[in-house]
Each structure stands twice: as structure tokens, then as C-alpha cells.
Amino acid sequence: MTPSTSKPRGGAYFAGLLAFAGAVLWTQAGRGGPQEVEVPPRQKALENFPCQECHVNIDEANSGVAPRTKTHSGMRFLHMDKIEQCNLCHPSEDMDTLRLVDGRTVTFNESYQLCGQCHGEKLGDWKKNLHGKQVGSWRALAHRYSCVDCHEPHSPRLPKMKAVPPPPRPPLSIPKEERH
């Protein structure tokens, strides 16, 4: 074979690849495997929780009306076009939980599961730490913020931001002093 043509990959190549993969897996095992991640609880931070203190005996007929009480007067319901039905996400029989499409309920601490039903691609990215925010050490427990820590659940679209030019780059060389 001439240098311009590619060489067939033989057993040595695959043995090296296998050794590399083994080293990566060994390194992961030495660190204790995949990193532990915790989603900080949200319920304690909710101003008007538990909801059931006010929302008692709400039936399906009037749960589709957006609340206009003093407590909820500042809420904007802009999640889905022309839909202001609380009972799509909040079961009328237990307003302290969230209802998934399959009928199961989750707590407000697990609201990312509700968001992920419609926003599956974002949920997948969130689980891989490609979307959202995660803080903590790579060697210890990390905290991954939930969807609602950045997005208001009733009006989740973030405001448009004005693009600005990047900051000036530093000079490529560092001036040296006369004496070392």
C-alpha cells in the first residue's frame, strides 16, 4: 500500500480501542460510577403552599377558569394558546400535586416530569446537563435545578434578550518584564 491510501485496521487497532474503553470504565468505577445528582425541593419555597388550604372541593366545572383572586391576580396564563385550564396540570381532587398525562400524580418537587411530557427533548438535555443549571462538585453530590427554577410554569417563555457584541479579547501575547 502506498502512503496515500488508508491502511486496513487490524487486531492491534481494536485491542488499543478496547484498552482505552476499559480505562475509561475503570476511571468511572474508581470515582464511584456516575455522579449523584439531586433536584432541590421546591414545595417549601412556594409562597401559597399547600394549595388545598384554599382550593377545597373544586370540581371539574369551575377548575377550568383561571383564578382571579387576590392571591393569583399576578399570574399570567400564557403556557398554551387559548388554554387557561388549571385542571390540565393540577388535579381538582388534590391541588397539592401535579397530574401527568397517564393519570399518575407527582409532587411539585418532581415538576420536571410534567414538563417533560411535552418538552421531551429539553428533558433529555436537562438530564444530561445540557439544558438548565447544575451546581456542585464533580466529585460529590451535585444539585440540578428544575425547569421551574428558570421558567415560570404558567408563562414559561423567557423574555427576548438583545444581542450584544462580545467583550474585547485580551492581547495574544503577554508583555514580559525587563528583568526575570
pLDDT at 41: 86
Cell readout for 130 is 445540557
DSSP letter at 130 equals S
Q: How far apart are CA 35 and CA 130, in angstroms?
A: 15
pLDDT at 16: 62
pLDDT at 60: 52
pLDDT at 31: 47
- 3-state secondary structure (DSSP) of residue 83: strand
DSSP letter at 108 equals G
Cα angle 146-44-92, degrees, rounded to a multiple of 5: 80
Do residues 27 and 93 make contact, with C-beta atoms less than 8 angstroms apart? Answer: no
Q: How far apart are CA 116 and CA 28, in angstroms?
A: 28
- 3-state secondary structure (DSSP) of residue 18: helix
pLDDT at 121: 94
pTM above 0.75, yes or no: no
Q: How far apart are CA 92 and CA 101, in angstroms?
A: 14
Cell readout for 123 is 428533558
Helix (H) or strand (E) holding 134: strand 134-136
pLDDT at 160: 86
Helix (H) or strand (E) holding 143: strand 142-144
pLDDT at 124: 93
From first to last of its 180 residues, the chain has per-residue pLDDT tens of: 445 455 555 666 666 655 665 554 544 444 455 678 888 888 877 777 777 777 765 555 455 455 555 566 666 777 777 666 777 888 888 888 999 999 999 999 999 999 999 899 999 999 988 899 988 877 788 899 999 898 888 888 888 889 899 888 877 776 666 655
Integer distance in angstroms from the first to the last C-alpha of the chain?
A: 53
Cell readout for 114 is 410534567
